[in-house]
Chains A and B, each alone.
Chain A
């Protein structure tokens, strides 16, 4: 079955530490890839997306992600996290004409 896997369930970091959240998917063919963030008590916000072209995608708030087709991966990175990055992060995958399917999410806790 098609699926999206996020390996890290809960990540705890200190401010200024670097972040990398893993995401793998099992779809064949062309996919669109997304990372969303959900701050406590708020709704989903799109961080970044990949459709085609440069596999290194830059998003908002200093986040970036790299699409590695051979590894079916789309990992999210940030060089230096802030306390305000504390949130739930979701990787999501979509094939043309179908709905977004989400990973289980990663809770990021950043201590100041």
Chain B
């Protein structure tokens, strides 16, 4: 299957700072990327869907000004958590798909801890 990477795998930041998480499709063109959030021992909640070159579509209840998503190229999407607070601490997982695929491929996730 196709490979999706995320960087960093772990990040610790102070409250009030911003953190950027990168998601890359390594061997395919990701026309659509998805960002999920997973709380401990909980399921994955879809945060937003982004198509290359377009604005992201956010799920209900997700603050678009807090979770900035950019999908500027066919291999890279970024999620920026702005003015992070301890309640933003979570596991963030990106997923990608391309026109030749009918399934999503997942990155390994990024553990964000906000102190």
Tell me, yes or no, whether B54 is within 8 Å of chain A by CB.
Answer: no
Tell me, yes or no, whether B93 is within 8 Å of chain A by CB.
Answer: yes
Residues of A near B42 (CB, < 8 A) are 104-105
Contacting pair A99 B104 (CB below 8 A): yes
Contacting pair A51 B102 (CB below 8 A): yes
**In A66-101, which residues have CB < 8 Å from any B CB?**
88, 90, 94, 96, 98-101
Within the complex, what minimum Cβ distance (angstroms) separates A79 from chain B? Answer: 26
Query: Given A34-B103, A49-B103, do A102 and B43 touch, yes or no (CB 8 Å)?
Result: yes
Contacting pair A103 B43 (CB below 8 A): yes
Count, chain A residues at interface, CB 8 A: 20
Q: How large is the interface on B (under 10, 10 to 19, 20 to 34, 35 or more residues)?
A: 10 to 19
Among B19-27, B65-73, B81-89, B105-113, the stretch in contact with A: B105-113
Contacting pair B43 A90 (CB below 8 A): yes
> Which chain B residue shows the least CB distance to A103?
B43
**In B29-76, which residues have CB < 8 Å from any A CB?**
34, 36, 41-46, 49
Q: Give the most central of B36, B44, B107, B109: most A CB within 10 Å.
A: B44
Complexed CA–CA distance, A105 and B43 (Å): 6
Query: Given A51-B102, A100-B34, do A43 and B107 touch, yes or no (CB 8 Å)?
Result: yes
Complexed CA–CA distance, A105 and B109 (Å): 17
Residues of A near B1 (CB, < 8 A) are 46
Query: Given A43-B93, A44-B93, do A101 and B106 touch, yes or no (CB 8 Å)?
Result: no
Which residues of B line the A interface, CB within 8 A?
1, 34, 36, 41-46, 49, 93, 95, 102-104, 106-109
Q: Please list 14 pairs of residues, one from A and one from B, whose beta carbons are closer than 8 Å in the complex, sorted by A's number.
A: A32-B102, A43-B109, A44-B93, A46-B1, A46-B103, A49-B103, A51-B102, A94-B103, A99-B95, A99-B104, A101-B46, A104-B42, A104-B43, A107-B41
